[in-house]
Structure 1
Amino acid sequence: MSSLSPAELVDRLAAVGASKVSYTRTQTLVRSYMGAAILTLGAAFAVTVSTQTGQPLLGALLFPVGFILLYLLGYDLLTGVFTLLPLAMMMRRKEVTWGAMLRTWGLVFLGNLGGAITVAVLMAIYFTYGFSAPPSPVGEAIGEIGHGRTVGYADHGAAGMLTLFVRGVLCNWMVSTGVVVAFLSKDLLGRIIAMWMPIMLFFYMGFEHSIVNMFLFPSGLLLGADFTLTDYLVWNEIPTVLGNLVGGVTFVAVPLYLAHGRRSAAKAAEAAPGSVALAPQSELVGATR
């Protein structure tokens, strides 16, 4: 398997990050809507496998299927753009201004939320025969996840909030590592293997992923779980989003820049004091998250 050097990898990631701000509003919304929809179908699959087999490790082993599919189709997740755009800014890609970055983050968040809730509604129908019967065992398991990971944190007060935030940090450390290492390899199989490992780890360890939670918790509410929308927002989604942001920037983007990107960024600035051109579109196909 051929692969990039670390310095080449950082240059490519910066080009991918810069490309994110070049899409139209519609393109960004569609890319993020579909990214979340495919990822959360993968989450539903993993929970189904874990519940029906009683083997959580098997569910974690299979969960990366959704992540890999959305990557191969070139869709986006908030967790990835939390890392790629700051890295592109650090690498002095002039397309990535603060305004462009915040706009892209906001659009990706909205698109991801729409895709995840769509799947939540469809799966709630699936688990209840169109709300005409009690939830299936898998539906009950999803409801229990929502209860345990909202009220369960609230029961511990400030310590629970800290734990939730740290799990969000750890999650995007692994998820963004999966995004990054996918670009190391130049062939399809190498990319799939590279992504699989950190994504399996985060899911099995129960770290908090803001996009997966946009599916799990609305699903739980639709299926009658014992927590409220406020519980979900305050005791999961908002702290998870913040933790995902800190994890992606602090443990992925900044170390890559400091270890491999500072010299490249300085050379790029000297060579092109004006605008920096994007990488060819062919190199950006599959850029995601």
Structure 2
Amino acid sequence: MSFHQPQRIAEIAVESGMRKAHLPLVNMLVLGFLGGAFIAFGYLLDIRVVAGLPPEWGTLASLLGAAVFPLGLILLIIAGGELLTGNMMAVSIAWFSRKVTTRLLIKNWFWITISNFLGSIFVAYLFGHVAGFTETEPYLSSTIAFAQGKISPGFWGSLISGIGCNWLVGLAVWLSYGADDIGGKILAIWFPVMGFVAIGFQHVVANMFVIPAAIFAGYFDWTDFILNFIAVFIGNAIGGAIFVGMVYWIPYIWNTKSKVVGEGQVFQFKQLKTKQ
């Protein structure tokens, strides 16, 4: 199972960010809708697995739910889709490399946010509310508990949790760039995503599913959702753009004039040419 070295992953990430930023609007909307729906499917699967498990299982129940949640990002990366949290890393590293303008970055984030929301809320309403997959017991209790767990920490708690989440999700996307085969990409995605879910970090697109699902069931309100969205969006942006995008841009793109020793040879990486 071959994989790329971090230097090459950084270059692939920049190339991916450039492609994402230059997608036509229709493509952004369609692929963003799919991205939101796929993440919602992962969360719905999580709820259906953990609901009704005996309390004696303790955190094992959380681990089981976390183990199936990565379905969403696996579908997105392999089948195709656009996800805000992944773009917060990929488009940002292209922006740091001056391959993408600020206007294109904002445009991408804006439209992917809208389309991810539409995909997430579509699954929440159609499958959760109309079909009742989140509104019959024991699934309703789990849905409410999940939503309450997202809203309860307040602004700063949600923001900091969002940083941790997209640090790991950004790394999941980053690692997926390091694999050329489907099996390698699945393994690369699965561990970081499982980790953030098991820890309990907050993902802005996942919250677009679970909080509205609880609202459709008659719990909480849209003010709760909006306040949570703002906090988690900011946290996810910091986690993806700064803790992954910028942190890896510095050694692998910006400062690539330094010599690197590996396998008995000395390599000289050339500084990438940048254009605004």
> Which residue pairs with 2:223 in the alignment?
230
In 1, Cα distance between equivalents of 2:133 and 2:98: 51
In 1, Cα distance between equivalents of 2:51 and 2:89: 33
Query: Is it true that 1:34 corresponds to 2:34 in the alignment?
Result: yes
**Shift of the alpha carbon at 1:182?**
0.6
Deviations 1:251-286 (A, max 9, x none): 1011111121114597332xxx668xxxxxxxxxxx
Contact 1:140 1:223 in 2 (8 A): no
Contact 2:159 2:232 in 1 (8 A): yes
> Which residue pairs with 1:79 in the alignment?
85
Query: Is it true that 1:190 corresponds to 2:190 in the alignment?
Result: no
> Which residue pairs with 1:280 in the alignment?
none
SS of 1:3's equivalent in the other structure is coil
> Which residue pairs with 2:202 in the alignment?
208
Query: Is it true that 1:108 corresponds to 2:100 in the alignment?
Result: no
In 2, Cα distance between equivalents of 1:13 and 1:145: 32
Residue identity matched to 1:249: A
Residue identity matched to 1:33: F
> Which residue pairs with 2:212 in the alignment?
218
**Which runs of no fewer than 5 residues in structure 2 stay unpaired?**
55-60, 258-269
> Which residue pairs with 2:13 in the alignment?
13
> Which residue pairs with 1:278 in the alignment?
none
In 2, Cα distance between equivalents of 1:244 and 1:145: 19
**Shift of the alpha carbon at 1:69?**
1.0
Deviations 1:221-256 (A, max 9, x none): 00112x22112211x111000100011112101111
Calculate the TM-score normalised by the size of structure 2: 0.88
Q: Note the 1:248-259 alignment, pairs <5 A.
A: 248-259=240-251
**Shift of the alpha carbon at 1:149?**
2.7
In 1, Cα distance between equivalents of 2:2 and 2:121: 39
Residue identity matched to 2:28: T
1:181 counterpart (165, 172, 175): 175
Contact 2:33 2:119 in 1 (8 A): yes
In 1, Cα distance between equivalents of 2:90 and 2:133: 39
In 1, Cα distance between equivalents of 2:222 and 2:164: 24
SS of 1:136's equivalent in the other structure is coil
**Shift of the alpha carbon at 1:83?**
0.9
SS of 1:87's equivalent in the other structure is helix
Residue identity matched to 2:92: P
In 1, Cα distance between equivalents of 2:27 and 2:70: 24
Contact 2:150 2:202 in 1 (8 A): no
Contact 2:253 2:271 in 1 (8 A): no
SS of 1:242's equivalent in the other structure is helix
Calculate the TM-score normalised by the size of structure 1: 0.84
Instruction: From the superposition, tell whether residues 103 and 128 of structure 1 become closer, same or farther in structure 2 (CA, over 3 Å).
Output: closer
> Which residue pairs with 1:243 in the alignment?
235
Identity %: 28
Cα RMSD over matched residues?
Answer: 1.8
**Shift of the alpha carbon at 1:135?**
3.1
> Which residue pairs with 1:161 in the alignment?
155
In 1, Cα distance between equivalents of 2:77 and 2:52: 27
SS of 1:92's equivalent in the other structure is coil
**Shift of the alpha carbon at 1:53?**
3.2
Instruction: From the superposition, tell whether residues 87 and 41 of structure 1 become closer, same or farther in structure 2 (CA, over 3 Å).
Output: same
SS of 1:149's equivalent in the other structure is helix
In 1, Cα distance between equivalents of 2:223 and 2:199: 25
Contact 1:35 1:70 in 2 (8 A): yes
**Which runs of no fewer than 5 residues in structure 1 stay unpaired?**
154-159, 276-289
Residue identity matched to 2:144: G
In 2, Cα distance between equivalents of 1:128 and 1:252: 35
